[in-house]
Structure 1
């Protein structure tokens, strides 16, 4: 939020006080509104200017936990000091306006002092409320980042276990292929350890998926056919790390692995009206769409949780039937502003 916008709620908050003081000057001093309104405005401006010091004080004197009487005593003294300063400030301005000393003394000064104390309490209360809201927002952000990191770390071992299982299956039937797959797996492992971002460019994610498919290609040989249609305009778009890999791995595990016939995967990505649209389609045996919507597997379930943390309800993960059979998984992601991602 631009810094100038922070002051708008404060200005709006002073408007009711200005109206109240205008009405008081009109009723108590029998002033017409043409004179009462400027007089009340001047009183508010001096109170607001002194309030800047109160706002800084709330930053230097945080709300204690547990609550301490010393905190109350300090603010009580500061409230009296604020009220006296406000009274003298207004007297100085009136002295300049009238060309003679104006002092607010006697019984008439008591309401001014009481009003000054009330102003102090109001300004300090707003300051502490704002800082409490800021701390709550920071805590929520840290919790979200922690949750996202936990989900990402849960996804990485899940994927690496499956990739390692692929290598183990190759050892007795294709030792050389197992060596090549191990080398590819080492590169994938390095990427998963080094990648700490929640959002990555599609170009980086697609390169990771291609290395993963290279391992599965060694395992399945001609039984796995991959067709891709990745628009160049979409390569710079951001998506959750390992999101596309999760969709591709799901298709390999549930379509290619159980079948002895060749399985074709169609991977597509495009940018459509500010949305990154990904789809992975296989021509395997298909799946129960209702069951997928309810639970899905470990990888897809954790992907859903990450999407909820990152996008709220703006991201969509949908399942559909392939043509003539198989499964299509579509993922639509809004493109976040640069300041909203975590790189």
Structure 2
């Protein structure tokens, strides 16, 4: 059954960001399978205006959800989409999930709501509004069981209306050119722990700095490479204060993450909250064992003792022990990395993710 799907977002400014990247990846996969897609954005951005999105785009230029004009604009675009044959839509991001379900329903479009984190943004006002709009949503697409549980509790959604579809990453072909700074470290014999995340408090990158300090005190030649945007100076100061200023490297935000990963011995993630981390999938796809917190969807992505190690949020000693167990045992590291890559390819492939969405759209259209 061929049909058209509309996606509604607050905006798309960075195609490499987690949610935006997954959305664009889904659109590409659906269109390769003959499904026509259209993107509706409440707000404009330089990226959207460049015309790089792989489907037609409507930019509404809306303001806040509290403004009547935003609701009217969504009603009008829903009416136009329905006239063009759209019968199912999916929202990404917060404001779109508030306005689109009720406004699109007026035109007969059934709307799915995406939830992709543990709801750190929930406020009493949002909870109240979302519990009302959830009544008219066709269902919820959650990227982990942890997110599904949080959505059910916060928004009053029944279990049968929450559908778990994990994130996916495409299989990479060919090799990437080396990253000079990391290559020189690698050639020196240093063991490199990589962490890919923007520098924000929720990511707790300071825990990795402290873990490197602990391991260095034990005589290990361990370095940390941080890939992500944000102000690194507070972390630099912390590294200097703990005696590892020369062992913690900040590479900034980059588009060649895959090239960086080929130099790492292990991937780390210290976040205190995660819905389902794309970073973990990138590590696994690169054949890296993982040491990460047991927050949210991390528990579903990493098999403790098989593809990596999980540790309690903020437990720096447990983090350092997990890193040490992998770094000091080459055979274990290679075995864990191979299992991680195998799981990434089989469980988190583009084909699996796109097929699951197509199946769900079909059931929604058939009233199931």
TM-score range for the pair, normalised by the shorter chain length = under 0.3
TM (norm. structure 2) is 0.22
With normalisation by structure 1, the TM-score equals: 0.24
Q: Which has the higher helix share?
A: 1
Q: Which structure's residues are more often strand, by fraction?
A: 2
Q: Work out which structure has the larger RCO, using CA pairs closer than 8 Å and 6 or more positions apart in sequence.
A: 2
Larger Rg: 1
